[in-house]
Amino acid sequence: MTYCLRRRMALGLIAAPALARAARAAGWVPDRPVRIIVPFPPGGGLDLVGRVLADTMASELGQPVVVDNRAGAAGALGIEQVYQAAPDGYTLGITSSGNITIGPLLRRTPYQPMALTHVSRLTTSPLMLVARKGSPVADLDAFLAWMRAKPEEVRFASAGIGSSTHLSLELLNIRLGTRTMNVPYRGTTPMLTDLAAGIVDVAFADATGWPLVEQGALRLLAVSSGEAWARSPQTPTLDSRLGEFRVTNWYGLVAPPNLPAPILARFEAEVAQALALPKVQQAYATSGFTALPLPRAQFHPFLESEIKLWDSVIETAKIEKES
């Protein structure tokens, strides 16, 4: 982490309690429970992030904050319910690239992603480039040499067509000028199971794959962040070899379109204060996430840049879109 980034984070954490107090004083105070819709089943990364945030915000808002799991349609069902809810501060949702910056580029969604009120980013984590234990490549440089020399031999798994793991593979192909085999699975768990069994050679995986790395079942070759990953600082970044290879798994807090400014300000401040707490940072870090809030003024342009990146990858790789 660079000095400038550390300084910005430190200043933000110092200012968070004061911002929250100012937002409370500005006027909006909930008078009934607030609902956070998680668009996937309990137990996943979005669910964890949503529940930790809900528990922390409840004490500050003075009302229960209830997590409501609404799974279906690859996360679109739950976000549709946020989209259609009244912009009164009582319905929020947890978002990710799958239902905001990637999924809507490939298939129709019953909501306009950028019309939602993107309150704040909550967490980020890099993707891990992991290889099977018995892989002939021992490190990142050996893997990149193999990809350049014999890409047709590399069995590269993904969590499904159009997933962030698939598009990250296509971005890697674009950066290297190669074409390699994509072996799509129905989700991360079966992908990692077959990778650990040696059925496929390599894959991008989110932080849920970290226990397999710790156990020695998978070999960590690189991470997709621009800087060293705190969990494994000795692991090289793809960015250091390829230039501008920065892919993050992020989760965000979203509200219905046209959320009034006082309510938005209150939630921005509460998120900043919650994510400044060591207990929240530790809860997220345990699962491989970094608590890194980004309020709407910065989060919205970040999302637009993500959409531009993935749209370019989809077009270049000629990935079929839903008609």
User: Which tens digit of pLDDT belongs to each residue from 8-28?
Assistant: 454 555 555 555 455 454 569
Could you read off the pLDDT of 244-265 as tens digits, one per residue?
Answer: 899 989 999 999 999 999 999 9
pLDDT at 243: 81
Domains of the chain: 3-125+248-317 (3.40.190.150), 128-242 (3.40.190.10)
**DSSP of 234-289, one letter per residue?**
TSPBHHHHHSS---EEEEEEEE-TT--HHHHHHHHHHHHHHHTSHHHHHHHHHTT-
Neighbours of 243 (CB within 10 A): 9
Phi (first) and psi of residue 252, to 5 degrees: -135, 165
Closest among 128, 164, 129, 125 to 285, alpha carbons compared: 125
Question: In this model, does residue 69 exceed pLDDT 60?
Answer: yes
Which pLDDT band, with edges at 50, 70 and 90, does 226 fall under? confident
